[in-house]
Amino acid sequence: MSTSLMYHTQQIRGFQHISLKFEDNKVIQCIKRKNFTCNFCRSSKVKLKPLRIRQIQALPYGLKKTYFEFTIHRIYCLKCKRRQIEDIPFLSHPKSRITQALERTIVELRSEMSISAIAKYFDLDWRTVKNVEKRYLKKKFRRIKLKNVRIIGIDEIFVSRKKENEKYKTVVRDLESGAVLHVGNGKGAEALEQFENTIRCVKRNFEAVAMDMSRAFIKWVSENLPNAEIVFDHFHIIKMMNEKLDNVRRRITSNLDDNYKKLLKNQRFLFLRSVEKLEPDAKLLLDNLRKTFKELGDASMMKEALRSIYRKAEDDTQAEAAFINWCFIARQTEVPELAKMADTIEKHMKGITAYWRTGKLSNASMEGFNNKIRWLMRQAYGYRDEEYFKWKIFDLPNLKIKKQL
């Protein structure tokens, strides 16, 4: 086994091959360092003291597990008078038990293989494989480029039932490139504290922020992104309206006798589904239920009227006039839930109509990204390592989910 082969297959420089031995179905290659230098001043005038022998797992030669065996020395530099432990250049850190070449191979295989499969193939502990990927992702996403970021989306997602600040993750993404800019614990302003420090020098570059109507997010954006326009995503407006409609249905159902309750039984999604997507028989049933239950019918009609504003309004001026008219009609119905919805729309009118001022900016990609995060959690049956989970979220835009499935 030549030193040249060791260099070309394992990328190990500065060592020479001494001998080979075979133990328990593995290859042990004994190697020796050619030249010793001080880790600090790089002087070659040093004294050596052997400390211990180490075995490091490397890329396998064929079907055999391969280890490199060498002696670790304590070095005393005669020039700078410092004592130190010998630095091993083919290890990513002093306590590593595998070579950098094997670590690179693990990272390359992770897009195609699971952690357990890689661990089984190389006969490693699964924690070793996970920690290799974790170190790689941490280094890759340690610094996020924010110079060209103009439009961002903020959203939170429920991830677990652990501690209060670990139940939710708040994710900030660049809506133009899709890159993840920040992942914070919790769902309030405290989840954005670290991001606040990160954007300190570029905060004036942000032009728009798409998000829901969270008070904490509104306050944070107003205080930290003075030039950014807040855009309340139309998805959340319609979702909120559907919740109001569902509340009307529940309230009405609770006050009905058994015969009338049967009419509304299992009809929840009939009211929530878009009218244009209903079959003719379903449309006829919906019309009959609207006539039978006036408040529910009014709420259903107002839901469709709200959706039509987003389809028909051409600019923010038309949209604002349509929303004002909608709020007036909603109050005329005397349905409490519709009156509350009208109050919400009027209170957040500027952010709602910003949808048109920003070229119909939507936070829909954030909702799709949340589904990716849920997929990520299902793949691992949950994550106990919070830091590893965070870096995996950063890497999600680069994963090809269909290919992995």
pLDDT digits (tens, 9 = 90+) for 149-161: 999 999 998 887 6
- Beta bridge pairs of residue 69: 30, 55
* Spatial contact of 157 and 169, defined as CB atoms under 8 Å apart: yes
pTM: 0.84
Inter-axis angle of helices 349-357 and 316-332, to 10 degrees? 140
For residues 248 and 267, give the distance between their C-alpha atoms in angstroms, rounded to a whole number.
Answer: 13
Identify the architecture of domain 151-233+362-404 in CATH.
Answer: 2-Layer Sandwich (3.30)
| pLDDT tens-digit readout, 226-250 | 889 999 988 889 999 999 999 999 9
133 token code pair: 């990927």
Q: Which amino acid is at 55?
A: Q
Strand, coil or helix: 24 = coil
For residues 327 and 325, give the distance between their C-alpha atoms in angstroms, rounded to a whole number.
Answer: 5
User: What does the domain layout of the chain look like in residue ranges?
Assistant: 1-90, 151-233+362-404, 234-357
What residues in the chain have per-residue pLDDT under 50? Answer: 402-405
* Spatial contact of 51 and 74, defined as CB atoms under 8 Å apart: yes
- Beta bridge pairs of residue 233: none
Question: Where would I find the H helices in 273-385?
Answer: 280-292, 294-312, 316-332, 336-347, 349-357, 364-380
- Beta bridge pairs of residue 184: 170
Among 135, 171, 193, which Cα is nearest to 376's? 171
